[in-house]
Structure 1
Amino acid sequence: MKRITNNKTIWIKPKCVEKKWYIIDVADKVLGRVATEVVRILRGKHKPYYTPHQDLGDNVVIINASKIRLTGKKYFQKIYYRHSRYPGGLYSDTFRTLSHRKPTAPLEIAIKGMLPKGPLGRELFRNLRVFADSNHTLKAQNPCKLELS
């Protein structure tokens, strides 16, 4: 890892950082608590050389996204909005209907909302892979299993 030093500040170039792959099983885990931990890993905040304006985080594979749970009555009451950009084009879905139609969407929406807005956030979101069940196509990357409390 090549370092550029300026007095006591250490700058790490993103191309010099080795990215690890983590796999997280989110079955019976709370949506928001999982999302905050995943964003922490995607941004690289768990590393000693974290820099807010660079992509120094790791890659994350999430399995069993269809089995994630919410606290309270949010399963029936939480509403997701989207707009078609036409007049009167506001659509709404509850968590229940959205998770039946697209099981990975609630988790992806929660994580994307916690990432920075702009080019860096889009780049960080590309380091995330979400699968509805336990089958995934990224076995070649040898992801390390990560347990969330």
Structure 2
Amino acid sequence: MELTKIATESDINRQWVVLDAKGQTFGRLIAQIATLLRGKHKPCFTPHIDCGDFVVVINAAEVKFSGMKLQDKEYFTHSGYFGSTKSKTLQEMLDKNPEKLYHLAVRGMLPKNKLGRAMLKKLKVYRGSEHPHSAQVSKSSK
């Protein structure tokens, strides 16, 4: 009987993946990003080890949404003081800060602990097609 190999930090080979968000559906793209960050696409996936890749998302502001989400979906913030609840629509978030929108969406799909926070640091999101990570990129995807 063959035992399953459990990955260690020294066994992990991290890649850089560039994803172009232009014309892609937001939710499907976020699910793909979460899978790459977590490392579930690798045969050496181990749940308690961060074995995922670095992900660079370009053209973040040109993603598409279905239905009336741009006008209807709202994001709420609260400072903890009475009456401090603020809301922004998805359209406002996409126009003002698409990087934050991606981080919020991906964060919800990652583990809610130190490991998930470490995985989220490997996500780099850029509004346009230019990014400073062109030297590290070794693997490109659609």
**TM bin (shorter chain):** over 0.9
Conserved in 1, the CA contact under 8 Å of 2:15 and 2:137? no
Alignment of 1:93-104 (within 5 A): 93-104=88-99
CA RMSD of aligned residues (A): 1.2
Distance in 2 between the 1:130 and 1:15 partners? 27
Distance in 2 between the 1:26 and 1:8 partners? 39
Conserved in 1, the CA contact under 8 Å of 2:36 and 2:52? yes
Deviates more, 1:129-138 or 1:82-91: 82-91
Q: 1:17 aligns with which of 12, 20, 31?
A: 12
TM-score by length of 2: 0.94
2:92 corresponds to 1:65: no
The structure in which a higher percent of residues are strand is 1
- Structure 2: runs of 5+ lacking an equivalent: none
2:93 corresponds to 1:119: no
User: Match of 2:39?
Assistant: 44
Q: How many residues align?
A: 141
TM-score by length of 1: 0.90
Deviation at 1:140, TM superposition (A): 1.3
Aligned residues with identical type, % of pairs: 35
2:19 corresponds to 1:29: no
Deviation at 1:88, TM superposition (A): 1.4
The runs of at least 4 consecutive aligned structure 1 residues that moved more than 6 Å come to: none
1:85 maps to amino acid: G
Deviation at 1:16, TM superposition (A): 2.6
